[in-house]
């Protein structure tokens, strides 16, 4: 095993490293969901819990 990676694992990594297999970037809708679910939602829950 100290020789390196197994051939199948090397093939999979090489396939993932090609740019065409990495997918596109985030769209505007994706950023809105990320903001709502990751920042605004938790902050609103904290404020809501703080008030009650």
Reported as half-sphere exposure (CB side, CA atoms, 13 A), residue 23 has a value of: 3
Residue 37 is predicted with a pLDDT of 94
Q: Against a cut of 0.85, is the pTM above it?
A: no
User: 28-33 long-range contacts, Cβ below 8 Å, gap at least 24?
Assistant: none
Task: Quick: pLDDT tens for 1-46.
Answer: 556 779 899 999 999 898 888 888 899 999 999 999 999 999 999 9
Q: What confidence score (pLDDT) does residue 24 get?
A: 85
């Amino acid at each position: 095993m100290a020789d390196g990676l197994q051939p199948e694992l090397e093939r999979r990594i090489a396939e993932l490293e090609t740019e065409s297999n990495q997918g596109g970037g985030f769209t505007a809708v994706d950023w809105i969901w990320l903001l709502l679910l990751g920042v605004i939602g938790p902050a609103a829950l904290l404020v809501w819990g703080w008030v009650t």
